[in-house]
A and B are shown apart, each in its own frame.
Chain A
Amino acid sequence: MSQQLPPCLRCQSAIETDDLRCPVCYLAINRAPALPAAAIRVQTLRCRSCGAALEYRASLQAPQCAFCGGVLALEEKVDPVEQAERYLPFIFDRQAATDAYRQWLGQLGWFRPSNLTSNARLESLHALWWIGWVVNADVLITWTADSDAGAQRAKWAPHSGELGTMFDGLVIPAGRGLTAAECVRLIPSYSLGNTSDPAGPQHPEAVLERFELPRSAARSTILETIRRQAESEVQAQHIPGSRFRNFHAAIRLRSLVSRRMAFPAYVIAYRYHGRLYRTVISGQVPSCIIGEAPRSVAKVILVVVLAALALGGLALGLLLQLR
């Protein structure tokens, strides 16, 4: 895994050893003195096998020996698949997770089947670290839009503005094990300051989800998410008036630091009347449970019928009173 270097001199964003340029502002890393005027000098490289001169071959995109065919590997731009750096610990064990799940089934409300707690059969319970990026970013947004505020003859008036905002501990899900909606609801339950040793996870049975994106694609995802968040913040809070159109934003990242983290969760599958349902419990707060549960059709019909009868009775009463 690549190591972190001192941050970018221009934008203070995190730099890794394989980076040729800053991923945010494209400043060259370990660059030669600015504006060089020196002549280019060509050295003759020799084949390590036979000692003949090497020649760069466009088909291989690498130097090759014309005599023995040996290829000299060049330094390639590395684009590895990301790996988790830090793990948030599981605060409670499987038994506590099972208890939390049972308690949750019993508290789902009147519309659920009365025998749900007794008839729901636990099929599986897996400890899982789902993965995501925790991002700290300093962003400057300049924007323009038409809004109804200050409109004169036309319905719209042009507006512009700028906003400096910090994203501190913004979590961006990176895996596919959990849905985006599940991750969003789990995120508030985690204590981001409490991470375990970066050497590896301590939970013996937990499955660690893998990052699927190479670093360049991961950075694109992070930048796109920050852009969307920043634009949403401006649209929700800073455009005057009640309606707007033609929104445009220019976003400049003044700094960006991202950490790859693994978040603990228990994934439960249970069966009720032959159908499988899924529930996810935060590995740090047992009361944070997101899941699917069946509804009692009989109870729903009963409520609808009772409501219809009540409305009918009310209407009849009003009719009789009018006569």
Chain B
Amino acid sequence: MPVFALGFAVEREAANCAVRNWIRSRRMAPFGLGKMAVERLSGVYLPAYLYSATANSRYEASIAEKYKKLRLDRDDDGASIRRSEETEYRDLAGRHVTSLSDILVTASHNVRNEEIEVIEPYELSRLRRYTPALLQGWSAEEVSLSPEICLGHARDEARALVTRLLHEFMPGDGVRSLRHHTEFEEESIDLTLVPVWICTIRYHPRKPPLRILVNGQTAKAGGRMPFSWGKLGLVLLASAAVLAAAIVGLSLLGKAFL
């Protein structure tokens, strides 16, 4: 049973509008996609895990400390003093301990973690204890990924977050060779239902339908937009034409002056 759930706050019309706006913002989307009817738009509660833990890291790094140096340069005309900036590298090792929370990873085999990441964040301050009343009239997908796989995904996200935090944690004017060994302690993972509008558009009979996800709380849309090679060709042709016109214009201008 899920522990928590986030209720839908975005209605169908708003989700449809978010999809249209998102398609319009993709410059290299296939021709005519913006005018195509949304084939299917369904509100679904997706299963996801909320992960929290204490990250205990041991790190080693080489810290850059910049300093100014006066240098005496001798040449045929005499000597001159030049001020240059040098960098001294000092080793630093230590521990970094922090609490990590609100890492959300998908528990659905159909919706990949990267697809959820593009429509995050969810407002987790509006989290509710799971109740069947939230699901009335809506579909809810069942958990289709094993908890072990989800835990692995959550740890990968947590490790990436710790690496970023450690880079921000380093003193000095720069850092190189940052290595860390992180252990996650006191882990918890809670099944949560998150609201998602899933939109499918069939834009080409021989290609798989395009899937766009909309955050059911914030209306943030995202998806994997296919690349239009036709549009790229047109852009390249237009650029080449402009370049050619510029070259011809310049050469004519040059001849007129000569």
Q: How many residues of A contact B (CB 8 A)?
A: 62
Point out the residue from B7, B65, B96, B127 that lies within 8 Å of A154, measured CB to CB: B65
Cα A148 to Cα B104 with chains together (Å) = 42
**Size bracket, chain B contacts:** 35 or more
Is the pair A63, B136 in contact by a Cβ cutoff of 8 Å? yes
B-contacting residues, A34-69, CB 8 Å: 34-45, 53-56, 58-59, 61-63
B135 to chain A, nearest CB (A): 5
Point out the residue from B96, B188, B193 that lies within 8 Å of A27, measured CB to CB: B188
* Residue with the highest number of chain B CB atoms closer than 10 Å, among A35, A54, A157: A35
Is the pair A160, B125 in contact by a Cβ cutoff of 8 Å? no
Stretch at the interface among A72-80, A177-185, A314-322: A72-80
Point out the residue from B92, B165, B188 that lies within 8 Å of A158, measured CB to CB: B92
Is the pair A38, B94 in contact by a Cβ cutoff of 8 Å? no
Is the pair B125, A42 in contact by a Cβ cutoff of 8 Å? no
Secondary structure of the A contact surface, majority rule: loop
**Does any Cβ of B come within 8 Å of A279's Cβ?**
no
Is the pair B186, A252 in contact by a Cβ cutoff of 8 Å? no
Cα A151 to Cα B181 with chains together (Å) = 28
Cα A75 to Cα B130 with chains together (Å) = 9
Stretch at the interface among A97-105, A137-145, A203-211: A137-145
Residues of chain A within 8 A of B147, CB atoms compared: 35-37
* Residue with the highest number of chain B CB atoms closer than 10 Å, among A146, A152, A251: A146
In chain B, what residue has the closest Cβ to A152? Answer: B88
B95 to chain A, nearest CB (A): 5
In chain B, what residue has the closest Cβ to A252? Answer: B97
Residues of chain A within 8 A of B203, CB atoms compared: none
Is the pair B191, A45 in contact by a Cβ cutoff of 8 Å? no
Point out the residue from A31, A55, A157, A246 that lies within 8 Å of B190, measured CB to CB: A31
Is the pair B137, A56 in contact by a Cβ cutoff of 8 Å? yes
Residues of chain B within 8 A of A75, CB atoms compared: 128-129, 131
In chain B, what residue has the closest Cβ to A28? Answer: B190
Point out the residue from A21, A159, A245 that lies within 8 Å of B127, measured CB to CB: A21
A289 to chain B, nearest CB (A): 43
In chain A, what residue has the closest Cβ to B175? Answer: A158
Is the pair B127, A248 in contact by a Cβ cutoff of 8 Å? no
Is the pair A77, B169 in contact by a Cβ cutoff of 8 Å? no
Given A144-B94, A158-B171, the answer on whether A42 and B135 have CB atoms closer than 8 Å is yes
Given A56-B138, A58-B216, the answer on whether A72 and B133 have CB atoms closer than 8 Å is yes
Is the pair B3, A160 in contact by a Cβ cutoff of 8 Å? no
Is the pair A39, B142 in contact by a Cβ cutoff of 8 Å? yes
**Does any Cβ of A come within 8 Å of B230's Cβ?**
no
A-contacting residues, B76-107, CB 8 Å: 86, 88, 90, 92-99, 101-102
Stretch at the interface among B8-16, B205-213, B234-242, B248-256: B8-16
In chain A, what residue has the closest Cβ to B133? Answer: A63
Point out the residue from A10, A157, A161 that lies within 8 Å of B90, measured CB to CB: A157
A269 to chain B, nearest CB (A): 42
Known: A56-B137, A154-B67, A252-B97. 9 other contacts (CB 8 A): A39-B142, A41-B132, A54-B136, A58-B8, A144-B171, A154-B65, A160-B95, A162-B95, A248-B168
Q: Which 3 A-B pairs have the closest CB atoms?
A: A160-B94, A55-B137, A154-B65
Interface residues of A (CB under 8 A from B): 10-11, 20-21, 24-28, 31-32, 34-45, 53-56, 58-59, 61-63, 72, 74-77, 140, 142, 144-146, 152-162, 216, 245-248, 250-253
